[in-house]
Amino acid sequence: MRTTVNIDDRLLEWAKEVAKERAVTLGDLVDEALQRLLMTPHPEEGPELPVFPGGGEVLPGVDLTSNRSMFEALDDPAGGHT
């Protein structure tokens, strides 16, 4: 199908160079790129992150501005309680 789209001049030149390097037509390159884009999960959604139930309070003695304090709390079998 033929259609008209507006493409940034620099992007179009880059796409033409890549198509030439791969020995494919510009149309084939655009088809492949669009298919890949549409088949992949949306990057702006990002990976699914785990959600942990429970309160959001900080354990006593843990300083959120200190990596050392947080690592020590993680290593402490009592869960950071002293």
Over residues 35-68, the pLDDT tens digits come to 998 888 766 777 788 887 777 788 888 888 999 8
* CA 69, 73, 76, 80 torsion-angle sign: positive
pLDDT at 78: 60
Mean of per-residue pLDDT scores for the chain: 85
60 and 79 in contact (C-beta within 8 Å)?
no
Domain ranges of the chain: 9-44
73 and 62 in contact (C-beta within 8 Å)?
yes
Of 67, 68, 70, the closest CA to residue 58 belongs to 70
